[in-house]
Amino acid sequence: MKPPLNRNMGSTWWLSRGAYFLIMLRELSAVFIAAYLVFFLICLYKVGQGPEAYGAYLRFLWSPGMILFHLVALAFALLHMVTWFNATPKAVRVWRGEERVPPALMIGPNYAVWAVITAFIIWVVLK
């Protein structure tokens, strides 16, 4: 007898639907965040080497190509942030008796905390 027909999703599944593609963009955020972290680590390394090395590296970091990279990386970091925060109610369910705390109420505080942390870091660096 013939074996049943195999119709499994192939490795291009993420191209077949908008929702899947968005998931793949979410996963791609990791590539850009990792790349940013490597540039950032090099920057820290240059700080350790002294003012000249640091200055030269800043000129590289602030060149048009790298600014473009940082713009794209920022977009991906924000995508990661939104998808991560919005997944909070999936991973954590909080109950008030028989009622589940609404997902929106689980998501909201993340953004508030994010805003405070962001403002605090900017203040520490720029003060």
Residues 70-109 that bind other proteins (CB under 8 A): 70-71, 73-74, 77-78, 80-81, 84-85, 87, 89-93, 95, 97-100
Helix 51-61 vs helix 18-49: crossing angle, to nearest 10: 160
Q: Which member of 47, 56, 101, 105 binds other proteins (CB under 8 A)? A: 47
> Letter for the amino acid at 64?
P
| DSSP reduced 3-state for 96 | strand
Q: Which member of 16, 101, 102, 105 binds other proteins (CB under 8 A)? A: 16
Q: How many residues does the chain have?
A: 127
Cα distances (angstroms) measured from residue 99 to each of 72, 93, 96, 108:
41, 10, 5, 18
112 interacts with other proteins by CB under 8 A? no
CB of 84 to other proteins, least distance (A): 4
CB of 89 to other proteins, least distance (A): 8
